[in-house]
Amino acid sequence: MNVAQPAVRSSLLVLQGVLFAVALDVVDRALAPGLSLAVFYMIPAAVAAWFGNAVMGVIVGVLMTSAWIEADAYDQLYDFQRPWFLVWNGAIHFAFILVVVYLLRSLRRSLDDARRLASTDPLTGLANRRAFQVSAQAQLDRRQVLTMVYLDVDGFKSVNDAHGHTAGDALLIQIARELQASIRDNDFVARLGGDEFALLLPGMGTVEAMEIANRVREGLDRAMLRGGWPVTFSMGALTVNGAEGRFDVLLRHADAQMYAAKRSGKARCVAETIEAGAS
């Protein structure tokens, strides 16, 4: 994400609060004294809290409370021998806005956490199969060159059998870290399940993708050697040269190439190029 984007969004949220405060103040002045628009003064703070953050919600809340106090003062609803009535009501109004901001931020965090968990592998922190499918299909819909790499860990079962599932989990976590560190910013890596991982390489043809796949595999081999893990990696690469395609078809082809790598001796990458509409 562009670093300037959060600052721009924050500025826009404060600006909408200012404009809304001015508009409400004008409308409030035009209405008969005693008619309340208090609930509408919470809307900009709620929007700022939901789409921005708690700080933005509080800042906009201060603006809206100030506008509300100014409108009530204009209507002369209070005995100014006792101005603290206005101050007290303003404080209560602001406190209510703070409660709304807090509840909305809590709800937003819960929804964000649920969305992240729905698309994240809980063990490795990589994207899961569902997120990989969504990303892959989006790339396919653009009908550009795309390579999918399917990766399986050779000898993973022996690690689990000899050292237990805790060791197996530690191995998967290390593999995930190595994969994440070895890809470009616009590439996508996911754990599909078990000891199977996948990469999406947008804009990569067969030759370039094979170079990257082999470089990734060699990097993994070095990491496994340093960690003392007795495993290697079989990889199947499938390149799609544009046109319409379906995720399940392409994944099946990439999976077939991965098994071809296993049958031919493991610890290698086998590639195929097809048209996206192939089945």
CATH number at residue 157: 3.30.70.270
User: For the residues of 97-140, what is the DSSP string, one character each?
Assistant: HHHHHHHHHHHHHHHHHHHHHHHB-TTT-SB-HHHHHHHHHHHH
191: β partners: 197
**CB-neighbour burial class of residue 137 (10 A; exposed 0-12, middle 13-18, buried 19+):** middle
Separation between Cα atoms, residue 26 and residue 24, nearest integer Å: 5
Q: For residues 14 and 85, state if they share a domain.
A: yes
What is the reported pTM?
A: 0.66
Task: Answer with the residue of higher pLDDT: 193 or 12.
Answer: 193
Strand, coil or helix: 241: strand
Final residue of a structural domain among 63, 93, 118 = 118
- pLDDT category, 185, cuts 50, 70, 90? confident
Q: What is the mean pLDDT of the chain?
A: 83
Q: For residues 236 and 258, state if they share a domain.
A: yes
Q: Is residue 137 part of a domain?
A: yes
Q: Is residue 123 part of a domain?
A: no
**The two three-digit tokens of residue 25, written as one number:** 């103040």
Segment 111-132, tens digit of pLDDT: 887 777 788 999 999 999 999 9
pLDDT at 80: 55
**CB-neighbour burial class of residue 269 (10 A; exposed 0-12, middle 13-18, buried 19+):** buried
Q: For residues 212 and 156, state if they share a domain.
A: yes
